[in-house]
Amino acid sequence: MRRSPVQSVKQSVFTIMSLLLLSSIQVSAIQESNIATHMKSNIDKTTDLLQNKMIEAHEKNSKIFELFDPVFDYNSMSKIALGKNWKKLSSQQRIDFKNAFTLKLKQSYIDKLQLYTDEKVIVNKTEKLKRTRIKLHTVLIGKEQDYKIVYKFHRTKINSEWLIYDVEMIGVSIMKTYRKQFSEFLSSNTFDDLIKELNKNKINN
Amino acid sequence: MKVFLILFFFTFTLYAASTPVSKYLNTTQQKIAIEDKEENSLEDEFDDEFEEEDEVSVNDPFSGYNRTMTYFNDIVYVNVLIPTSTGYSKVVPVEVRQGISNMFSNLVFPVRFINNVLQLKFDRALEETGRFLVNSTVGLLGFFDPAKSQLEWEAHNEDFGQTLGFYGVGPGPHIVLPFLGPSNIRDTVSIIPDSMLNPTSEYFYDLPMNSTNGLLLNSIYYVNKSSLHLGEYESIKKDAIDFYPFMRDLYEQNRISEIKE
C-alpha cells in the first residue's frame, strides 16, 4: 500500500517532534561541563529551602527531591550496594530492593538535612578521574569543623548524561558502607530479611 | 585508670609491631593494579571501586570486646554526654561554644605542628605556626580565629596515627576505646606521643596542674565539642543495620582518607 502524502508528512512531523523531544532531554541532562554549576544551583536552592521557615517540612522534602532525584542514579546505587548479590536476584527482587533501598537513602538524606541550620556550602572544582568518572568536591562549613563532601558522578551509557552514583562525607563512601553492611547481612540472612530490615527502619522513623 | 590504659597500650604496641606491614602494602599494590585495568564490562563497571566491600571476614580479633564497648559507650553517650551537652547548649550561646572550641584547638597546636613536620608537610607546619601566633594574640588566646577568617590560613589536623600511616604503618586490628569510641591499634598507641604534646593533658606543659583539673578540662572539651555536633550521633545510628561493624567501617574509612591527605 502506498502512503498518502498527508500520511508521510504526518510521519515526518512526528519524527521531527520526537527528535526535538529527545534533544531537549539531552539539553536538560547534566553534561560534563556543567556539573559544578548545576550542583551549585541545586545546593543553593536546597539551603534556601531549608532556611525558609514559611514552608512545611513535608513540602520542603518533596521540593528537595524534585531537585536531586534527576541527578541521583538510584539504579546504579542499588546495584553497587548489593555487589555480587545483585546477580543472584530475580528481576522482581531487584525491583523490590531498588524501591526499598531508594526510600532508605532518601530517608537518611532527609535525616541529615534536619541537622542543617545555616551552614555555608562551598562548591569547589570537579576532578576527572577517568573518561566516565568525575568527582565534585564541596565543603560544608560546620560549627566546629568543616565537612568535606564529595559527589561522585559517572557517565551513563544510555544518553551519556552524568549522574551521581556515590557520595563521600569526610572520606566515608556511603555506598561502601551499605555494600559492606549488606554483604555482611546477606552472609547470614536471606534476601527477604534484608527487604524487611530496610522497610522496618522506614516505619520506625 | 591511666595506669591501666598505659599497660593496655603497651601490650598492643607489641601486637601492632608484629603485624606485618607488607600485608598492607600488598593490598595497596593490588588496588593500584585494579585501578590500572581498562574500563570493565558493562555489568561490573563499579566493581573496581567497591569490590573490597564484598569481603565479609574482617581482621577483628577483639570483635567481642569491641561490641560490648560500643554498647557501653552508646549508653554513656545517650544517657550522659548527649543530655549534658544538650542542656549546656541551651545555656551557652553558640558563639561562645565555638570560641571555647577554638581555644582548645589553638592549645593543641603543638600536636598538629610536630605531626605535619614529621610528615614533611613543611608548608602546612608553617601555616599552623602562623595560625598559632595570630590566633593567640589578635584572636585573644585563640577564642577567635582571625587567621582563618581574615587570612584564610586553614588548620591542618594531623596526629601521630596519621604520621605512622604516612610511613606505611597499617592500622592493625580495630579496637573500641572506653568513652573515646572507635580506634585501632596504631591510633591507640599514638595517643601517648600526642598527649605528651597536648597542653590539656598532664604530660608536657602541665597546664591542668593535676589530674582532677585535667579530667575537668577534658570533660569541658568533650561536652563543648559534642554540643556543636548535636543530633549527628543519632542520625548516624539510624543508617546502621548492625551498629558496631558500621561504626568500625566509618572510622577506618575516615582514617584512610585522612592519612592520604
pLDDT of residue A22: 55
**Interface touch B231/A115, C-beta < 8 Å:** yes
State the best of B232, B241, B244, B256 to mutate against chain A, taking most chain A CBs within 10 Å: B241
- For residue range B123-163, what is the model confidence (pLDDT) as tens digits? 999 999 999 999 999 999 999 999 988 888 988 999 999 99
Instruction: Judge whether B127 and B109 are in contact, CB under 8 Å.
Output: no
* Partner B contacted by A189 (CB < 8 A): no
Q: For residue B50, how far is the Cα from the chain centroid?
A: 24
| Summary mean pLDDT of chain B | 83
The closest of B138, B99, B124 to B220, measured between CA atoms, is B99
Helix and strand tally (H, E) in chain B?
15, 2
What torsion do the CA atoms of B91, B96, B100, B102 make, to the nearest 10 degrees? 150
HSE-up (13 A, CA, CB side) for residue A57: 6
**Is A29 within the bounds of a domain?**
yes
pLDDT of residue B34: 44
Q: How many independent structural domains does chain A possess?
A: 1
| Nine cell digits for residue B114 | 610536630
**Is A67 within the bounds of a domain?**
yes
| Rounded-to-integer distance, Cα B11 and Cα B15, Å | 7
Stretch B99-122: mean pLDDT, rounded? Answer: 95
Q: For residue B119, how far is the Cα from the chain centroid?
A: 17
User: ipTM, 2 decimals?
Assistant: 0.80
Whether this prediction's pTM lies above 0.90 is answered by no
Q: Percentage of residues in chain A with pLDDT exceeding 70?
A: 84
Instruction: Judge whether A81 and B53 are in contact, CB under 8 Å.
Output: no
Q: How far is residue B66 from each of residues A177, B13, B14, B174, measured CA to CA in Å?
A: 18, 18, 19, 8
- Specify the higher pLDDT residue, B27 or B126: B126
**Is A116 within the bounds of a domain?**
yes
Residue A128 has pLDDT above 50, yes or no: yes
Q: What angle do CA A101, A104, A107 make, to 5 degrees?
A: 155
Q: Which of B45, B54, B101 is facing A83, going by the closest CB pair?
A: B54
In A29-90, where does DSSP find H-type helix? 35-51, 57-68, 74-82, 84-87
Distance from CA of A123 to the nearest CA of B (A): 17
| Rounded-to-integer distance, Cα A51 and Cα B96, Å | 23
pLDDT of residue B21: 43
**Is A50 within the bounds of a domain?**
yes
- Of B5-19, B172-186, B195-209, B215-229, least confident by mean pLDDT is B5-19
- For B230, the closest chain A residue by CA position comes to A115
Stretch B241-248: mean pLDDT, rounded? Answer: 93
- Kindly indicate the confidence band of residue A20, based on its pLDDT and cuts at 50, 70 and 90: low
- For A106, the closest chain B residue by CA position comes to B239
The sign of the dihedral angle between the CA atoms of A133, A136, A142, A147 is: positive
Distance from CA of B87 to the nearest CA of A (A): 17
- Cβ within 8 Å of residue B184, ≥6 positions away: B171, B172, B173, B174, B175, B251, B252, B255
- For A82, the closest chain B residue by CA position comes to B54
- Specify the higher pLDDT residue, B195 or A14: B195
Cβ pairs bridging A and B (under 8 Å): 93
- For residue range A129-173, what is the model confidence (pLDDT) as tens digits? 888 899 999 999 988 888 999 999 999 887 788 999 999 999 999
Query: Which helix H or strand E contains A153, and what residues bound it?
Result: strand A146-155
**Interface touch A176/B53, C-beta < 8 Å:** yes
**Interface touch B245/A157, C-beta < 8 Å:** no
The closest of B183, B236, B235 to A177, measured between CA atoms, is B236
pLDDT of residue A201: 61
Q: Which of A83, A176, A185 is facing B253, going by the closest CB pair?
A: A176
pLDDT of residue B200: 79
- Kindly indicate the confidence band of residue B23, based on its pLDDT and cuts at 50, 70 and 90: very low
- For A77, the closest chain B residue by CA position comes to B46
Stretch A1-29: mean pLDDT, rounded? Answer: 61
| Rounded-to-integer distance, Cα A7 and Cα B200, Å | 86
**Interface touch B228/A165, C-beta < 8 Å:** no
**Is A202 within the bounds of a domain?**
no
- Kindly indicate the confidence band of residue B56, based on its pLDDT and cuts at 50, 70 and 90: low
| Rounded-to-integer distance, Cα B197 and Cα B107, Å | 10
* Partner B contacted by A125 (CB < 8 A): no
- Of A26-40, A161-175, B69-83, least confident by mean pLDDT is A26-40
- Specify the higher pLDDT residue, B22 or A32: A32
- For residue range A89-121, what is the model confidence (pLDDT) as tens digits? 999 999 999 999 999 999 998 888 888 888 899
- For B49, the closest chain A residue by CA position comes to A176
Number of other residues whose CB lies within 10 A of the CB of residue B160? 22
Contact list, B260 vs chain A (CB under 8 Å): 171
Distance from CA of A115 to the nearest CA of B (A): 7
pLDDT of residue A18: 64
Distance from CA of A86 to the nearest CA of B (A): 10
Q: Which of B54, B232, B249 is facing A84, going by the closest CB pair?
A: B54
- For residue range B201-221, what is the model confidence (pLDDT) as tens digits? 766 656 666 777 778 888 999
**Is A66 within the bounds of a domain?**
yes
Q: Which of A108, A131, A187 is facing B56, going by the closest CB pair?
A: A187
3-state secondary structure of B242: coil
| Rounded-to-integer distance, Cα B27 and Cα B142, Å | 42
pLDDT of residue A32: 81
- 3-state SS, chain B, equals CHHHHHHHHHHHHHHHHHCCHHHHHHHHHHHHHHHHCCCCCCCCCCHHHHHHHHCCCCCCCCHHHHHHHHHHHHHHHHHHHHHHHHHHHHHCCHHHHHHHHHHHHHHCHHHHHHHHHHCCCHHHHHHHHHHHHHHHHCCCCCCCCHHHHCCCCCCCCCCHHHHHHHCCCCCCCEEEECCCEEEEHHHHHCHHHHHHCCCCCCCCCCCCCCHHHHHHHHHHHHHHHHHCCCCHHHHHHHCCCCHHHHHHHHHHHHHHHHHHC
- 3-state SS, B47-91, equals HHHHHHHHCCCCCCCCHHHHHHHHHHHHHHHHHHHHHHHHHHHHH
Instruction: Judge whether A170 and B254 are in contact, CB under 8 Å.
Output: yes
Distance from CA of B98 to the nearest CA of A (A): 7
Q: Which residues of B touch A (CB under 8 A)?
A: 39, 42-43, 45-47, 49-51, 53-56, 94, 97-98, 101, 225, 228-229, 231-232, 235, 238-242, 245-246, 249-250, 253-258, 260
pLDDT of residue A144: 85
**Is A204 within the bounds of a domain?**
no
**Is A203 within the bounds of a domain?**
no
The closest of B197, B192, B191 to B114, measured between CA atoms, is B197
Contact list, A130 vs chain B (CB under 8 Å): 39
pLDDT of residue B35: 42
CATH of the domain at A148: 3.10.450.710
Instruction: Judge whether B53 and B222 are in contact, CB under 8 Å.
Output: no
Domain containing A20 equals 5-196
Place of cell 601490650: B11
Residue B239 has pLDDT above 60, yes or no: yes
pLDDT of residue B203: 66
